Amino acid sequence: MVSKIRKNPSPAGPKPTPAAEGTPAPAPPDQIAFLNKFANDTIEYNNCTFDPTTLVVDCESRGRYAVNPPLTGQDIVCRVGSVNGTPRLINCTSQEPLQAIYYEIPS
């Protein structure tokens, strides 16, 4: 299955700043190249909680992450992707506006 990754539309108003707490998880500028790093890996996804106030993604036993840039919008859902039991990426989506961003978890 081939999926297209679109650039995020610019939200109106000031952009939120990354959280001061949690492990920094930046969004690679080339999302496709980043995902291609995992082309031969099996990624196990687990749901996380995104706090729109603190801008932290809480993945319980898999860690807390300060995603950068934080996703804005409504109905934000995040999940952590692990390879061989090690968290390697976070995927967050929103419904309004429709967006998807992948974040890299530093090793």
Per-residue pLDDT at 72: 86
At 17 the pLDDT is 62
List of residues 6+ apart from 26 with CB closer than 8 A: 67, 68, 103, 104
For 43-80, give the DSSP string. -EEEEEEEETTTTEEE-GGG-EEEEESPP-SBS-EEEE
The arithmetic mean of pLDDT across residues 45-49, rounded, is 97
- How many angstroms separate the CA atoms of 34 and 18, rounded? 20
For residues 1-15, average pLDDT:
44
Query: What average pLDDT does the chain have?
Result: 86
Give the Cα separation of 48 and 44 in Å (integer). 13
Asked if the model's pLDDT at residue 12 lies above 60, the reply is no
pLDDT tops 90 at residue 8 = no
Domain extent listing, the chain: 23-104
